[in-house]
């Protein structure tokens, strides 16, 4: 038994003795320097970290020492994680676990060690402590750490306000058609498929940052899929259901209402994966309803997806299948929306978790009103079978890109059969769909393709209104799309402002010739208005 244990231990991830000795030596030198400075034989450096940027941290020698010692400990632990001798995935998991521990252990997260929180409590005679406790109790009732003033927003009142009507619904989604803002419109309609793991109104937050309103103002007849927030009646739904009765059904209805055999389409994140799958299924049936396809921060080739890869292996997928899928005791279950939201928040814990723990509870502050973070907290459930299929066949086995490998809705899947031109967008700082992962889609589709990269992250890079002229975007100097993303970037040119203007020009070129009078009423004789936008489905809470 002892021999077996010793053999197991020799296969555990380890750090070479030489590297460990080097790290220990460096740590002791830096720790000694800090200690000597704290005792008065030198000057403590100011901590260059925004968590310790306030005057309360900068003017207190003890707090400066604690902050610098914490930063040194964090650097050393991260260096140790980098030095682990193991396969790439194991090393990434260790890095992630260490980073989570380091971020959680910051002295700024503890009231007794946070001089700014202590000063606020003293100056307010304890009022900030009282408010912080109330904020904590409120968040316990909500079931999550508040990232924004949730009482400041209401769907349909000051977010998701673009005028429109629900013109179709089934058990899976509502289809919204938006009222025109121009006297004439492009002949071909425009359908948007948002991610089903979030509410659609990320594309319609407020008038000044609404991608939907922007498209309507550019003379497009715009439709959007508003996914239902699944309840127990939906827990057995599959990926095939979302494709056949979701996206394909929406494509059919838009085609009938618009009276056009082809029209523009857009998919965002998982919505793009669903849209591409649906168009490939239809292509296998000899149908090609898309005159163009826009894919925003969408994964098609799942071979390297950044930090999310560390969560996915056979053991995890198998566990999900036996607890959420058809094999689960008692049958399929729902994946709670809050679980997904928490996972995504802990991909950036300092920004999306500990920042609010400190502000809400230690300082007694109400988080500011921010529409994007309100949407981020409006989580959605997922049917277990659909989620498990997605995990296994995309993140784990990367089969979506392989012609004929998968059968979806009874059809062998080949994305290369999609004939429509494709506009592919990636965000440079995206931690969910790294831009190089988005770029890999250029090697899968066979028709005309255009790739554009925007600044910022997964959401802020996409929701970058043209009128604000913020950030920048990169466009290739030629139409050539080499196999390697770095080669494309080396030849790309940076342009100031939003990528929306480039995309708008491209989209209009596929929207039909000339203009036609804008419709006077939503839908048509067969599909009449059911209720005003944003509809009932988007208001269902997880």
Q: Which residues are catalytic?
A: 269
**Residue 428, CA distances (Å) to 36, 266, 434, 453, 484 in order:** 42, 20, 7, 6, 15
Tally Cβ neighbours within 10 Å of residue 239: 24
SS3 476: strand
Q: How many residues does the chain have?
A: 542
Tally Cβ neighbours within 10 Å of residue 208: 10
- Give yes or no for a contact between 207 and 162, defined as CB atoms under 8 angstroms apart: yes
Quickly list H helices, 84-110. Answer: 88-104
CA dist 120 and 525 (Å) reads 63
**Strands 263-268 and 290-296, bridge-based pairing:** parallel
- Give yes or no for a contact between 292 and 418, defined as CB atoms under 8 angstroms apart: no
Tokens of 135: 């904020």
Tally of CA atoms within 13 A in the half-sphere of 164 that contains its CB: 28
3-state secondary structure 28-75: HHHHHHHHHHHHHHCCCCCCCCHHHCCHHHHCCHHHHHHHHHHHHHHH
**Residue 248, CA distances (Å) to 139, 172, 287, 438 in order:** 39, 12, 11, 23
Distance of CA 140 to the CA centre of its chain: 25
- Give yes or no for a contact between 203 and 211, defined as CB atoms under 8 angstroms apart: yes
What is the DSSP secondary-structure string of 401-470? TSTTT-EETTEE--GGG--S-EEEEEETT-SSS-HHHHHGGGGT--S-EEEEEESS-TTTTTS--GGGT-
CA dist 417 and 278 (Å) reads 12
Whose tokens are 């079978």? That residue is 385
CA dist 278 and 293 (Å) reads 12
């Amino acid at each position: 038994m002892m021999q077996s244990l010793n053999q197991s231990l020799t296969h555990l991830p380890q750090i070479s003795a030489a590297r460990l000795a080097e790290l220990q030596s460096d740590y002791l030198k830096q720790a000694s320097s800090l200690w000597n400075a704290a005792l008065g034989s030198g000057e403590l450096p100011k901590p260059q970290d925004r968590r310790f940027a306030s005057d309360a941290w900068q003017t207190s020698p003890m707090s400066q020492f604690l902050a610098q010692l914490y930063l040194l400990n964090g650097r050393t632990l991260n260096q140790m994680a980098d030095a682990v001798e193991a396969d790439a995935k194991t090393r990434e998991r260790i890095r992630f676990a260490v980073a989570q521990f380091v971020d959680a252990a910051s002295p700024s997260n503890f009231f007794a060690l946070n001089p700014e929180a202590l000063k606020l409590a003293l100056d307010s005679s304890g009022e900030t402590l009282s408010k912080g406790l109330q904020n904590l109790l409120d968040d316990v009732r909500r079931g999550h750490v508040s990232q924004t003033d949730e009482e400041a927003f209401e769907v349909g009142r000051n977010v998701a306000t673009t005028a429109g009507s629900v013109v179709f619904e089934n058990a899976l989604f509502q289809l919204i058609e938006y009222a025109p803002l121009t006297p004439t419109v492009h002949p071909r309609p425009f359908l948007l498929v948002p991610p089903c793991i979030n509410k659609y109104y990320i594309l319609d937050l407020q008038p000044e940052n609404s991608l939907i309103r922007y498209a309507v103002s550019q003379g497009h007849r715009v439709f959007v899929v508003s996914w239902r927030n699944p309840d127990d009646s939906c827990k057995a739904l599959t990926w095939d259901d979302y494709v056949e009765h979701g996206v394909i059904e929406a494509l059919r209805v838009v085609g009938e209402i618009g009276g056009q055999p082809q029209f523009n389409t857009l998919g965002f994140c998982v919505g793009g994966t669903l849209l591409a799958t649906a168009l490939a299924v239809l292509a296998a049936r000899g149908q090609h309803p898309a005159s163009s396809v826009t894919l925003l921060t969408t994964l098609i080739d799942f071979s390297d997806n950044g930090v999310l890869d560390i969560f996915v292996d056979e053991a995890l997928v198998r566990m999900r299948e036996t607890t959420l899928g058809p094999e689960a005791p008692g049958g399929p279950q729902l994946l709670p929306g809050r679980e997904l939201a928490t996972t995504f928040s802990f991909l950036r814990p300092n920004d999306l978790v500990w920042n609010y723990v400190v502000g809400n509870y230690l300082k007694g502050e109400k988080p500011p009103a921010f529409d994007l973070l309100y949407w981020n907290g409006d989580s959605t459930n997922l049917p277990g079978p659909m989620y498990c299929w997605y995990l296994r066949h995309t993140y784990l086995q990367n089969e979506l890109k392989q012609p004929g490998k998968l059968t979806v809705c009874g059809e062998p899947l080949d994305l290369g059969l999609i004939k429509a031109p494709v506009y592919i967008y990636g965000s440079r700082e995206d931690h969910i769909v790294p831009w190089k992962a988005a770029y890999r889609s250029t090697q899968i589709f066979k028709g005309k393709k255009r790739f554009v990269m925007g600044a910022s992250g997964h959401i802020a890079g996409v929701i970058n209104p043209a009128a604000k002229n913020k950030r920048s975007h990169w466009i290739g100097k030629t139409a050539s799309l080499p196999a390697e993303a770095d080669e494309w970037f080396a030849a790309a040119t940076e342009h100031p402002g939003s990528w929306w203007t480039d995309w708008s020009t491209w989209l209009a070129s596929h929207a039909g010739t000339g203009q036609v009078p804008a419709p006077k009423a939503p839908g048509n004789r067969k599909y009449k208005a059911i209720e005003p936008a944003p509809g009932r489905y988007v208001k269902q809470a997880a």
